[in-house]
Amino acid sequence: MSDLQPEDVAVITRQLGRRPRGLLGVAHRCGCGQPDVVITDPRLPDGTPFPTVFYLTCPRLNSAIGTLEASGLMRDMESRLAADQDLAQRYEQAHQDYLTRRDRIREVPEIAGFSAGGMPTRVKCLHALVAHSLAVGAGVNPFGDEALDALGAWDEAGACARADTEQDDEQ
């Protein structure tokens, strides 16, 4: 986790189109150096439990993952999960890793045992699984890693700056 700087909050606000809630830090930065995964308090400032501690903020990455989800990749992953005991065990371990990391921040009884992305028995949200993989590194979440591999070079240096420039040109 990197230290949260005021400029990070400004970037994240622009990425989300709103002020972030329960923001604790930056868990990962893209090749441009901008935040793409943040750490969110498991209890939001208004008291609401929030199980998604690793939250994806990069609009380019969110869009690319949405395309993967629409391709049917999650359905394929879930079929493999049901048929492959080793994969199911690794996914269970990813679920436990997520819970452990979240509980280190704050234990929230209302969400105890619930992680993100459908873990450990379903593949429900690639955004959450990719955020987990980016935040903790490769080798922890098999489906987050697999989705990142399918995306290819999404975080090449300069891509965010080019996207920002293109967006400014459109306005």
Say what the pLDDT of residue 164 is.
55
**Cα–Cα–Cα angle for 124, 12, 18, nearest 5°?**
80
Cα(first)–Cα(last) distance of the chain, in Å? Answer: 34
Residue-wise pLDDT tens digits, 116-170: 999 999 999 999 999 999 999 999 999 999 999 999 887 775 556 555 545 444 4
Helix/strand/coil for 12: helix
**DSSP codes of every residue in 84-148:** -HHHHHHHHHHHHHHHHHHHHH---GGGTT--STTTTT----HHHHHHHHHHH-TTS-HHHHHHH
Tell me 47's DSSP state: S
Q: Report the predicted TM-score, pTM, of the whole model to 2 decimal places.
A: 0.91
Write the CB contacts of 138 (distance below 8 Å, at least 6 apart in sequence): 145, 148
Residue-wise pLDDT tens digits, 101-113: 999 999 999 999 9
Say what the pLDDT of residue 165 is.
45
Residue-wise pLDDT tens digits, 71-97: 999 999 999 999 999 999 999 999 999
Say what the pLDDT of residue 163 is.
53
The pLDDT-based confidence of 4 (bands split at 50, 70, 90) is confident
3-state helix, strand, coil in the chain (%, to 5): 55, 10, 35
Would you state the structure tokens that stand for residue 52, as one six-digit string?
Answer: 């998604």
Give CA separation, 108 vs 32, 56, 102, 114, 136, in Å: 34, 21, 9, 10, 21
